[in-house]
């Protein structure tokens, strides 16, 4: 049998490597790159508690199309939102590379965002920064535009809080 993949151990090893890099005077990388539909987004690592494969969902009737349902994650209930649909895009495939980003404990809000895939850590400190419609956008060295997700602002939006259809 193959060794079972433990997500918590993997995340802890990533954090340990980041801390070792910071202790050795390296550049701090604190953003996670994700793909949402055809768009690329950056999320501060401090804004998310965990990244996990899509858990089993229990549907909730009479909710908005972007509301996927409720998931039990280690005994805690989380509302799962298809972030692509919430932003006006098409439905995220619920297979393969799709992942859920759980909002950090600091927000005291049990919500998860379904994204198409996780692209890994990104160091955007030297990327070109601009603002468009009140949203931060960054352009990497290859010309790819990344949007910055403000988790605190998202969780306070009335549209996000009103899941009823």
Phi-psi region of 75 (alpha: psi -120 to 50; beta: other; left: phi over 0): left
Structure tokens at 88: 């006006």
- The domain spans of the chain are 7-161
Q: Which pLDDT band holds residue 8 (cuts at 50, 70, 90)?
A: low
Q: Fold for domain 7-161?
A: OB fold (Dihydrolipoamide Acetyltransferase, E2P) (2.40.50)
pLDDT value at position 2?
A: 44
pLDDT in tens, 140-154: 999 999 999 999 999
Q: Tokens 């060794």 belong to which residue?
A: 3
Q: Does the pLDDT of residue 13 top 80, yes or no? A: no
* Residues contacting residue 110 through CB under 8 Å, at least 6 positions apart: 76, 77, 78, 79, 102, 103
Q: Does the pLDDT of residue 25 top 80, yes or no? A: no
Structure tokens at 18: 């980041």
Is 40 strand, coil or helix? strand
- DSSP annotation string for 57-83: EE--SSB-TTEEEEEEETTEEEEEEEH
Global confidence as pTM: 0.82
């Amino acid at each position: 049998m193959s060794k079972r993949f433990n997500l918590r151990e993997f995340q802890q090893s990533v954090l340990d490597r980041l801390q070792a890099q910071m202790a050795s005077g390296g550049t701090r990388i604190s953003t996670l790159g994700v793909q949402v539909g055809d768009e690329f987004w950056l999320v501060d690592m401090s804004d998310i508690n965990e990244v996990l494969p899509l858990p089993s969902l229990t549907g909730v009737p009479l909710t908005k199309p972007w509301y996927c349902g409720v998931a039990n994650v280690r005994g805690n209930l989380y509302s799962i939102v298809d972030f692509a649909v919430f932003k006006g895009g098409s439905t995220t495939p619920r297979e393969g590379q799709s992942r859920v980003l759980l909002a950090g404990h600091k927000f005291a809000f049990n919500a998860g965002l379904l994204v198409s895939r996780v692209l890994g850590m990104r160091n955007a400190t030297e990327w070109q920064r601009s603002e468009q419609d009140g949203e931060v956008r960054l352009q990497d060295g290859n010309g790819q535009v990344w949007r910055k997700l403000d988790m605190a602002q998202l969780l306070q939006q009335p549209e996000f809080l009103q899941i009823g259809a």
